[in-house]
Amino acid sequence: MHKIKGVLDYQNRPVFKYWVVRHQISTHLCRHNGALFDLCPILASSALNKPLDQLKTFNMTALKFTTAGAIDIHPSKNSSQNDFDFLEGEWQIHNRKLNTRLNNCSEWTEFEAIGEMHKILLGLGNTDSFKATFDGKPFEGMSLRLFNPATKLWSIYWADSVFGKLDPPVLGSFDGKTGTFYTKDVFNGNAIVVKFQWDKTDPDHPIWSQAFSADHGVTWEWNWYMYFHRV
């Protein structure tokens, strides 16, 4: 078993190459030179022999699309209206956000936020708040999540105090401890695919991350991580 030099998982444990390949890693967030990154793309792109600093943008298996051009999204076998129960309550949130997106940027801004999630619609949905300060000015965002019992898919909407509108919902489900959600959107005038990913391996310290793809899901750039700590 060979340790990947300088790489720790999000709990600061050393990551071993054999363990990563054999077990496909139980958590996607790892550390290298103090920076957090997603290790799943390393497996997907056979990039274990590449410098880890070059892995912000990575290759993955391309998404499937319908003949009408929609993303072909199917729920996991265990998708449930209880999948977000872990998020109920109050949270301290450490954020790591890429300064610019799809622009070969390598600079990140880190900041703190607070959040709180409540269930609605007798458990078929939930809302949460996100409050932070940017450049001395208050910022507030909110998520609305709805579970469709017929399709067994979650729809997740985001709105904030800058634009005052609901973004197109990402759709998806949890498979075990990992939730994956997608949507098509437009960024800087160009069509993109947006991916949300939740890791609830530790329900008291869940992790949310976001990635954009400008090539129909062939390559992805992670641009925002949120590390939740239960209050």
- pLDDT digit string, tens, across residues 20-63: 433 333 334 454 444 444 454 433 333 333 333 334 444 445 68
What sections of the chain are H helices per DSSP? 17-23, 40-44
d(CA 115, CA 89): 8
CATH of domain 85-230: 2.40.128.20
Per-domain residue ranges of the chain: 3-49, 85-230
138 in Cβ contact with 127 (< 8 Å)? no
- All residues at 6 or more sequence positions from 148 whose CB lies less than 8 Å from its CB, including other chains: 154, 155
Residue 142 is predicted with a pLDDT of 98
Residue 30 is predicted with a pLDDT of 52
Residue 128 is predicted with a pLDDT of 98
222 in Cβ contact with 231 (< 8 Å)? no
Phi, psi of 43 (to 5 degrees): -65, -45
Residues of the chain with pLDDT under 50: 1-6, 9-11, 15-29, 31-38, 40-60
